């Protein structure tokens, strides 16, 4: 019962649990470290006085605000060493709930970590896999994944989360592209997705011979715009800093060539086409592999990190859903069933029966993550989110976790005159205006440089700084982690869950008893995704009857495999058993959990 006398349901507990994340994590990540600092700093207060001050609520509130402010000034995205330390700290502080494992090392020598979270035998509980860093330039994905683990464990002693961890397992992969992510912390910053494997992207027999070049020396790789009569780019009418393709159909003429910042080191007429950063995790999976595409490799799953992650997941039959933090967004805009995509032998779109749980996941996401106006963010060839659905056979959901809010021109007359109308709603124009409003240094103004490959031409360096359009200011991350943690916990609570109900026995003639019962899926997800019906890497719900040595099953199968159980669906079953004593009936699957019942004849 709640303190108001209202019955507390399981759903209420999940809702209440979300509200505890902030309080629990505030103490663990902010107040507790400061207490340690205060103890060692020379103070004019005695230990007794310090303790008595802690009893003062106002002092605690002031302390929390001060720490939040100070840490907010210094916190930032974690590099691989810092990420590893955060993971090891989670394991050491939660030994009963956490197992940390390095699955492999990348070509660059970095660990691919996975964090198992849950209580009891984690292998028999339905599981959710949470995967960050599928795109190396998406640092937010890493922070959302490890932040979820931190928030969850910070609230592990609350009754609601304790119950979640007792019935659900979480496999958290914070960053599966650590080689690429480290570029964010390098002196030369550019958006990198490939690992440290050397590749011949331009297929000229040489490796990494045409990298980026920092022509203006600002430590950021941006763009070059070159005035040229053959150029296909023009300035946007609402903001001359933004370039857009000229439309020949509208009679528009281009003014600029647009290439990435650099020079043609190998003199093949291409710029920066074969630099460091080889194979992309999110471009080298098995579904719809993009052969002969730079970054994909010579074939699917050639890298240690790909193989390690996929092997690990294939061995976890208890996973019912995979949540990916990456460029695709099928939570704000859920996948829709399209019969034309499934007309061939190999499905290319979501199956009709899987679209319904997809809508359930999308509605949950929009309930907890209130970002509006999500941009279109579809799939790409060889990506992880499609592999998780089409080849792994699980309910697969993905979100970038953040996007800049829609910019509205202020109605104030003075401010309104500052902006030209963005008639075509160009997203770059809107993003630049939003960044300036938020005092975010997101753009390198176009600056003239001398370029050896374009002697005598007007060449300028400029454009958006790397990482800014997909990774928000770090001050926004904690709130995003809170919201996504509530979503994941809520999704996990709706997992498929097998129960045995309405059991009854009847005594018949000749020592025979009839056992009748109902197998029910109490969850809001089907026992398996429809796409998995022909997938050997997922188990069907099995109903197993174990009779004693003096008993005989006269009618009914000892083992029955159910093709599927939809959300709330039931299946009545019956057996005739001759003999006395106890019969054990067990029903379930790794991804649904099992229920065992002893029946006395």
**Angstrom distance (rounded) from CA 30 to CA 48:** 22
The confidence band for 206, taking pLDDT boundaries of 50, 70 and 90, is: low
Indicate if the pLDDT at residue 9 is higher than 80.
Answer: no
Determine the topology of domain 498-600 in CATH: Immunoglobulin-like (2.60.40)
The pLDDT, as a whole number, for residue 414 is 74
Does residue 517 have a pLDDT over 50? yes
pLDDT class for 268, splitting at 50, 70, 90?
low
Task: Establish whether domains 80-184+278-402+472-493 and 498-600 are of one fold.
Answer: no
How confident is the model at residue 149, as a pLDDT?
A: 98
Give the tokens for residue 533.
């019906």
Whether the pLDDT of residue 35 is over 90: the answer is no
State yes or no: pLDDT of 343 exceeds 90.
Answer: no
pLDDT at 44 > cutoff 50: no
Mean pLDDT calculated for residue range 106-112: 96
Name, in order, each residue with C-beta under 8 angstroms of 524's C-beta and a sequence gap of 6 or more: 357, 360, 494, 567, 568
Distance in angstroms (rounded) separating the CA atoms of residues 393 and 67 = 45
pLDDT of residue 46 exceeding 90, the answer is: no
Q: pLDDT class for 535, splitting at 50, 70, 90?
A: confident
**pLDDT of 265 higher than 50:** yes
- State residue 376's pLDDT score: 85
Domains of the chain by residue range: 10-74, 80-184+278-402+472-493, 200-263+406-449, 498-600
Would you say 64 and 56 are in contact if contact means Cβ atoms under 8 Å apart?
no
Question: Domain 80-184+278-402+472-493 belongs to what architecture?
Answer: 3-Layer(aba) Sandwich (3.40)
pLDDT in tens, 301-331: 999 999 999 999 999 999 999 999 999 999 9
Q: What is the pTM of this model?
A: 0.86
- DSSP-derived letter for residue 387 is I
CA proximity to 83, closest of 177, 220, 193: 177
What's the whole-number average pLDDT of the chain? Answer: 87
Per-residue pLDDT reduced to its tens digit, 458-472: 999 999 999 999 999
Return the closest-CA partner of residue 451 out of 235, 223, 201: 223
How large is the average pLDDT for residues 502-514?
94
DSSP 429: H
Rounded CA-CA distance 300/290 in Å is: 9
**Of 534, 586, 544, which Cα lies nearest the Cα of 564?**
534
Q: Is 37 in contact with 436 (CB distance < 8 Å)?
A: no
Q: Which of 48-62, 259-273, 340-354, 389-403 has the highest mean pLDDT?
A: 389-403
Give the 3-state secondary structure of 487-503.
HHHHHHHCCCCEEEEEE
The single residue listed with the structure tokens 């763009």 is 223
Which one has a higher pLDDT value, 241 or 550?
A: 241
């Amino acid at each position: 019962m709640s303190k108001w006398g209202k019955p507390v349901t399981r759903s209420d507990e999940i809702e209440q649990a979300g509200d505890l994340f902030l309080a629990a994590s505030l103490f663990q990540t902010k107040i507790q470290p400061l207490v340690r600092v205060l103890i060692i700093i020379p103070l004019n207060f005695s230990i007794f006085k310090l303790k008595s001050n802690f009893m003062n609520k106002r002092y605690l509130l002031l302390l929390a605000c001060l720490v939040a402010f100070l840490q907010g000034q210094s916190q930032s995205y974690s590099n691989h060493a810092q990420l590893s330390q955060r993971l090891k700290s989670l394991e050491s502080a939660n030994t009963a709930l956490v197992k940390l494992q390095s699955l492999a090392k990348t070509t660059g020598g970095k660990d691919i970590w996975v964090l198992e979270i849950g209580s009891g035998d984690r292998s028999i509980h339905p599981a959710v896999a949470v995967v960050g860093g599928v795109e190396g330039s998406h640092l937010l994905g890493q922070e959302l994944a490890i932040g979820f683990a931190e928030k969850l464990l910070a609230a592990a002693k609350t009754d609601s989360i304790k119950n979640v961890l007792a019935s659900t397992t979480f496999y958290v992969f914070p960053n599966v592209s650590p080689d690429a992510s480290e570029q964010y912390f390098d002196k030369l910053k550019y958006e990198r997705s490939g690992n440290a494997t050397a590749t011949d992207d331009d297929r000229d027999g040489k490796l990494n011979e045409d990298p980026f070049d920092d022509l203006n020396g600002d430590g950021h790789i941006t763009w070059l715009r070159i005035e040229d009569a053959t150029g296909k780019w023009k300035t946007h009418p609402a903001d001359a800093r933004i370039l857009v393709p000229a439309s020949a159909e509208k009679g528009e003429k281009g003014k600029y060539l647009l290439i990435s910042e650099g020079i043609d080191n190998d003199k093949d007429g291409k710029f920066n086409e074969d630099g460091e950063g080889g194979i992309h995790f999110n471009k080298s999976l098995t579904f719809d592999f993009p052969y002969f595409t730079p970054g994909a490799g010579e074939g699917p799953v050639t890298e240690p990190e790909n193989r390690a992650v996929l092997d690990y997941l294939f061995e976890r039959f208890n996973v019912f859903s995979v949540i990916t933090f990456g460029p695709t967004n099928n939570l704000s805009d859920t996948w829709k069933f399209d019969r034309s995509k499934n007309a061939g032998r190999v499905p290319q779109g979501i199956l009709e029966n899987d679209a319904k749980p997809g809508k359930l996941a999308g509605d949950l996401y929009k309930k907890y993550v209130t970002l509006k106006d999500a941009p279109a963010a579809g799939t790409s060839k060889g990506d992880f989110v499609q592999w998780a659905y089409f080849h792994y056979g699980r309910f697969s959901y993905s979100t970038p976790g953040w996007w800049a809010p829609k910019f509205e021109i202020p109605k104030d007359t003075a401010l309104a005159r500052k902006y030209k109308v963005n008639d075509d709603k160009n997203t770059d124009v809107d993003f630049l205006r939003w960044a300036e409003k938020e005092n975010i240094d997101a753009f390198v103004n176009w600056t003239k440089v001398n370029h050896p490959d374009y002697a005598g031409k007007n060449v300028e360096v400029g454009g958006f700084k790397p990482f800014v359009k997909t990774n928000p200011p770090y001050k926004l991350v904690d709130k995003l982690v809170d919201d996504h943690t509530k979503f994941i916990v809520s999704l996990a609570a709706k997992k498929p869950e097998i129960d045995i109900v309405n059991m009854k026995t009847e005594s018949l003639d000749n020592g025979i008893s009839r056992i009748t019962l109902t197998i029910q899926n109490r969850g809001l997800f089907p026992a398996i995704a429809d796409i998995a019906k022909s997938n050997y890497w997922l188990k069907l719900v099995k109903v197993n009857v174990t009779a004693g040595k003096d008993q005989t099953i006269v009618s009914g199968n000892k083992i029955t495999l159910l093709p599927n159980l939809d959300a709330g669906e039931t299946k009545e079953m019956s057996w005739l058993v001759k003999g006395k004593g106890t019969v054990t009936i067990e029903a379930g699957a790794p991804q649904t959990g099992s229920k065992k019942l002893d029946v006395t004849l």
